[in-house]
Structure 1
Amino acid sequence: MNDIRIPLSDKNIAQLSTPSDGWYLARDTELKGFFVVVGKRKRTFTVQGDLRQGGKRASSIRVSIGDTRELTTRAARAIAKEYLAQISRGQHPKKAKQDGDTGPGPVGNEANTDVATVTLRQAWQRYLEAHLIRKGRSEKTISGYRDHVERLFAEWLDTSLGELAIDPARVAKKHDDITNENGPYIANGCMRTLRAIYNHACKTNRSLPRDNPADAVDWNEEKRRDTGMGASDLTEWFRELAALENSVRREFHLLTLLCGSRTAALQQVKPCHVDFRRRTLRGRKRAFDIPLSREMILCLIRAIRFGRQMYPLQSRKWIFPGDSESGHLAETKEDRDTLSKWGNDLRQTFRTIATAAGVSEFDAKLLMNHSIPGVNAGYVTRHKLLEDHLRSQQQAIGTAVFCAIGKMLTKDAALRDWLGRCASRVAGGRQMKRGDLGEAQDRIRPAA
């Protein structure tokens, strides 16, 4: 087979075809001289560069880095950069290792001392402040990392990262123990956290070993949870939702279904984020406005009214107020016996209903504010699609959701009282008018 050029990644390498005979090279498009030798039985990370002596090219050498089954592409690329730097200085990487040259950074006892001082606790604190907080990661994300480090890795907090790096079997055993005690998904998540913290620490501690200790882990297989509903499941779910005692929580779950947003983002929606005149809801990240269908608008109006009735003080700041310390809904999980689907189940349902409603995969990703892969996606101006195209797609999904419950909207007393045309279960006993969006906008302005 002929050599190829691709962006080397774990996924792309796994998809490379195996030659029927001989071998071929898959060269990296990002780092010149870095490639994978693809053979019938194994695939090897390799670098190639020109050794120079006296400013002249003496020879071209290839140096193997390691088997792709034992190294991640990220780790191999880091090693490749160091090898290529040594080659450019006229040093053979393998010979430099034999002679005791560890490359850039401290060597000998000085290196060991530096490694010993970088504990997991110190590396975590820097990662928390310099990466997670500085980049505006959500409280939920930070809480997940903190749980991994401070609870599941508590016994390692004062252990140096260097000790973990030179004893990868210890890390692999920890992964096995967490798998048995806490489950495969949490075990994988913990090791991803450790891998991220170690890689971040390597940026400011050049004496740390290049190999990430988390690379020794045999990862548990993970399958996407398939918990979304189809159109035929919505009738029973709406009955369950109508029976919820807390009206604010009821509207929260309905809006999650209608827009497919993450619960953490919707929890922090403020009245000033809603523009009823433009029919948009401002997203927290990427400065993206979510188009509102008619059903979403009515849901938001009800949420505002119920919130003002139940939580007069908190509703001045939040669309979905609550008794939490923050003043908004902080915990949106329900008893499965009370409400069978919530949270990410509703995001999956949104995506499922969108497909049934004829919404394209590209449009569905835009509506859910997902990143769009590929160069061409960078030329799509989202807000230019908002006014007409995306709003019509959003409306198609909302219509499909309510068509699925059909006549139940008028036959079921609880649903009729909640969602019917003459619904009066609103703050102050005032009826809700479907078309009066301007009046609704004026009413929420004082709370913004």
Structure 2
Amino acid sequence: MKQASETQKKSRVDTLTDTKIRGLAYDGTPMIIRDRTVKGFMVAVNKTSKTYKIQADLWQGVPGRQTLVRTIRHTLGDASSMPVAEARQTALKYLLQIKGGVDPFKQEEPDLDPNDPLNWTVGKMMDAYIEHLKKSERTAATVRTVVKDRARYLKTWEDRLAIGIQKSDARALHEMLTRNHGPVCANHAMRYFRAAYNLANRLCDDKAAYAHNPVRAVIFNKERASGRVILIDEMKSWWTDLQDVKNPIRREMQLLDMLSGLRSENLRTIKRDDIKFAENYILIGKTKRGHRFDLPMSRQMAECCERALAASELLFPGSEWLFPTRNRQGAVTHAQVVREKAMPSMTGHILRHSHRTMAQFIGIDSINAKLLLDQKVPGMDGVYVHEQALFSVLLEDQQLISDAMFEAFAGRSPARRARQHI
């Protein structure tokens, strides 16, 4: 109640007259008296001055699709020397222009600072978000995905003022993207915009400018995970089909994918020097979680890497990559895709699921199974469990998983033989 009375004292509505204005005096608190006759016209009383002002929102765009450009605040003159009738007439002229979508003070204002988040367009805001991802050492794949989706799905907003995006705008774009590009693409675009808007809120000095993220009004589409895995009794068939892959480098890449459960980006970009045969691990310089990962390497994984190294040296002598290829310009680079055309539904991310399923089937400790896939361990276990300290245990479990997979490749059902770790 106290706060409400203080706010009422600082701002009130009255019919402004010359007599009333002469009687206004500073009482220790700045005061705004808004004119009852002309909305947006007011007099401000401060310690050393009394001034006429106007304030109004500038909306632009076609009817029904207008966007808030900015809130215009402008001082008209000294209330001690200018008659209120003259000030009201001037205010009315400007307010009518603003209502019509015209900024009467555009040329009078200094150039806006493009680095101030308050003045960011959506394009500038997304630039800042992408730069933030890079500085946060997010993976190159993550950054590329945001850049691609921003260019494709948010292009109609590029030049719009970020703080001018309304809830209705967000809902309309999400619905349009859902119709034209599918529910998952629509959700991703809105998530990236939401994250960028939240970053702008953190960086902007004006706490109110980005306080209400318009994506809060979006009802996200339900996304269903495929849950596709290669079941135990399907692995023999998968192994048979793998032998028909003619390219030996890609054949070994698919096998290592199955034996390791690595993410696509990490698998494709393994370098020859990353294979630490003596220490029994593959060095993954930076994972999706943003850190180094020493992937325990089973005997079968090591043999797979040896064959891949021999094939890559034969076909691409001197290449730094474990799985090299040539790009469209003819330059040697790392493999660009994991999915195999000859096995379209049996390669890619489902092999990661298959690794986890096999670990579960033979009884590998659930935390160890997550650590082998560089997955986040939930709860307090994620705070106190350190994979480096458990490397020898994880290496044993990796070997058990590889042994079980090769049993399944041979058509035998793997035994539930893994020991349980405390």
TM-score under structure 2 length normalisation: 0.67
Give 2:248's aligned residue.
247
Quick one: distance in 2 between partners of 1:202 and 1:346? 40
Distance 1:343 1:407, change over 3 A: closer
Distance 1:143 1:288, change over 3 A: closer
Distance 1:170 1:273, change over 3 A: same
- Give the paired residue count: 303
Give 1:29's aligned residue.
none
> Retained in 2: the 8 A contact 1:115–1:162?
no
> Retained in 2: the 8 A contact 1:237–1:340?
no
Matched to 2:169, the amino acid is R
Give 2:106's aligned residue.
none
Quick one: distance in 1 between partners of 2:410 and 2:338? 27
1:304 maps onto 2:304 in alignment: no
Superposed displacement of residue 342, structure 1: 1.3
Give 2:367's aligned residue.
362
Gaps of 5+ in 2: 6-54, 56-69, 75-102, 104-111, 413-422
- Identity, % of aligned positions: 28
Matched to 1:348, the amino acid is H
RMSD over aligned CA atoms reads 2.8
Quick one: distance in 2 between partners of 1:407 and 1:287? 36
1:141 maps onto 2:142 in alignment: yes
Question: What does 1:204-223 align with in structure 2 at a 5 Å threshold?
Answer: 204-207=203-206, 208-223=209-224
- Identify, as 1 or 2, the structure richer in helix: 1
Give 2:182's aligned residue.
183
Gaps of 5+ in 1: 1-49, 54-99, 101-106, 409-448
Quick one: distance in 1 between partners of 2:123 and 2:332? 28
> Retained in 1: the 8 A contact 2:117–2:125?
no
Quick one: distance in 2 between partners of 1:366 and 1:386? 10
Quick one: distance in 1 between partners of 2:301 and 2:349? 18
Matched to 2:164, the amino acid is E
Give 1:395's aligned residue.
399
Segment of structure 1 superposing worse, 378-387 or 167-176: 378-387
Please give the secondary structure, in 2, of the residue aligned with 1:188.
helix
TM-score under structure 1 length normalisation: 0.63
Distance 1:201 1:253, change over 3 A: same
Superposed displacement of residue 258, structure 1: 0.4
> Retained in 1: the 8 A contact 2:200–2:210?
no
Give 1:432's aligned residue.
none
Distance 1:126 1:230, change over 3 A: same
Greater than 6 Å deviation, 4+ residue runs = 110-116
Please give the secondary structure, in 2, of the residue aligned with 1:390.
helix
Distance 1:271 1:407, change over 3 A: same
Quick one: distance in 2 between partners of 1:217 and 1:255? 41
Superposed displacement of residue 280, structure 1: 1.0
Question: What does 1:325-344 align with in structure 2 at a 5 Å threshold?
Answer: 327-335=333-341, 338-344=343-349
1:346 maps onto 2:357 in alignment: no
Please give the secondary structure, in 2, of the residue aligned with 1:346.
helix
Give 2:410's aligned residue.
406
Quick one: distance in 2 between partners of 1:118 and 1:407? 61
Distance 1:402 1:215, change over 3 A: same
Superposed displacement of residue 231, structure 1: 0.9
Give 2:72's aligned residue.
109
> Retained in 2: the 8 A contact 1:240–1:339?
no
